[in-house]
């Protein structure tokens, strides 16, 4: 006989929205800004925060240390640990005071990307830093941002290195093309859109995209969630990321929502051009879903 007693004892009621946020922090100074924005966001969403500290080692020094012997390897390990300890101390000091508490964890005995992805299965929202072409020592490794978005199965909020505003989600711009990825991103953004002061939707099409049979458009969908949105139509172009940045700046947007797609090719994850350009160039947070 199936025992349902345990399930019944915890079935308090239907709980929706973003209740848990997993934040990646490292030894870079940008992590302090990322932590502050995440705490403000968690206050608005009534969410708890888990900060996972994971910083890459100095691979150039490490390679030399292995060739030089155990003594240099030990010194290198001490230097890395000192860097991490100081970075964590700075972050923990920034995480005290008013606002939601932060639970602190470290990636131990695992690769940074793999460890973060394992932890991501138990969070509603992931918060990570902007993609860097050649990550310095103490940052997340190369490919971390792409792997998180494409493999985590969770909506991912990417915070730029130097955000243009100190808020997230008050004025939201949604990039809409009617694709499955855009639909998933839009659905994941509902908790943000419900609390936003302004919601804008941009589509690169001659006329508003609609469902093929019911003729429902994206504004109808949002209306069902009691969200009012302004639609912006643009001529089709290959310069989507550039136009997205221009429109976001003109609207004073503090969050862009967009779908992301990728596929496996020779074992490497590849982004579409607009997704990659937006991740590296936009100066406002981006909520992505794959």
Six token digits for residue 267: 């074992």
Q: What is the mean pLDDT of residues 171-177?
A: 95
d(CA 147, CA 198): 31
Facing residues of 25 across strands? 53
- pLDDT (tens digit, 9 = 90+) per residue, 72-91? 444 445 445 666 666 667 77
In whole angstroms, what separates CA 12 from the centre of its chain? Answer: 30
pLDDT at residue 272, rounded to an integer:
54
d(CA 264, CA 78): 38
| Residue 45 backbone dihedrals phi, psi, to 5 degrees | -90, -5
- pLDDT (tens digit, 9 = 90+) per residue, 206-215? 898 999 999 9
- pLDDT (tens digit, 9 = 90+) per residue, 15-54? 458 999 999 999 888 999 999 999 999 999 999 999 999 8
pLDDT at residue 131, rounded to an integer:
79
Beta strands in 121-240 (DSSP E): 125-129, 156-159, 171-175, 198-204, 230-234
Q: Which of 221, 217, 160 is nearest to 189 (CA)?
A: 221
d(CA 160, CA 184): 22
């Amino acid at each position: 006989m199936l025992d349902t007693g345990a399930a019944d004892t915890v079935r308090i009621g239907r709980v929706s929205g973003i209740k848990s946020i997993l934040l990646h922090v490292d030894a870079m100074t940008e992590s302090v800004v990322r932590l502050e924005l995440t705490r403000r966001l968690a206050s608005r969403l009534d969410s708890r925060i888990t900060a996972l500290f994971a910083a890459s080692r100095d691979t150039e020094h490490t390679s030399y240390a292995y060739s030089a012997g155990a003594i240099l390897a030990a010194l290198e390990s001490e230097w890395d640990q000192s860097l991490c300890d100081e970075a964590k101390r700075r972050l923990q000091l920034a995480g005290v005071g008013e606002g939601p508490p932060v639970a602190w964890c470290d990636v131990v005995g695992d690769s940074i990307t793999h460890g973060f992805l394992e932890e991501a299965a138990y969070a509603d929202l992931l918060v990570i830093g902007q993609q860097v072409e050649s990550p310095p020592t103490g940052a997340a490794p190369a490919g971390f941002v792409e792997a998180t978005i494409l493999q985590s199965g969770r909506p991912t909020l990417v915070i730029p290195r130097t955000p243009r505003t100190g808020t997230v989600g008050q004025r939201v711009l949604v990039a809409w093309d009617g694709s499955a990825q855009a639909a998933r991103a839009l659905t994941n953004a509902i908790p943000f859109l419900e609390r936003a002061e302004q919601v804008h939707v941009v589509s690169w099409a001659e006329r508003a995209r609609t469902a093929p049979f019911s003729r429902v458009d994206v504004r109808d969908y949002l209306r069902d969630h009691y969200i009012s949105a302004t639609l912006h139509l643009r001529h089709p172009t290959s310069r989507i990321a550039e136009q997205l940045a221009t429109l976001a700046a003109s609207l004073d947007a503090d969050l862009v929502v967009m779908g992301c797609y990728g596929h496996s090719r020779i074992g490497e994850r590849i982004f579409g051009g607009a997704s990659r350009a937006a991740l590296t160039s936009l100066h406002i947070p981006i909520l992505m879903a794959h």
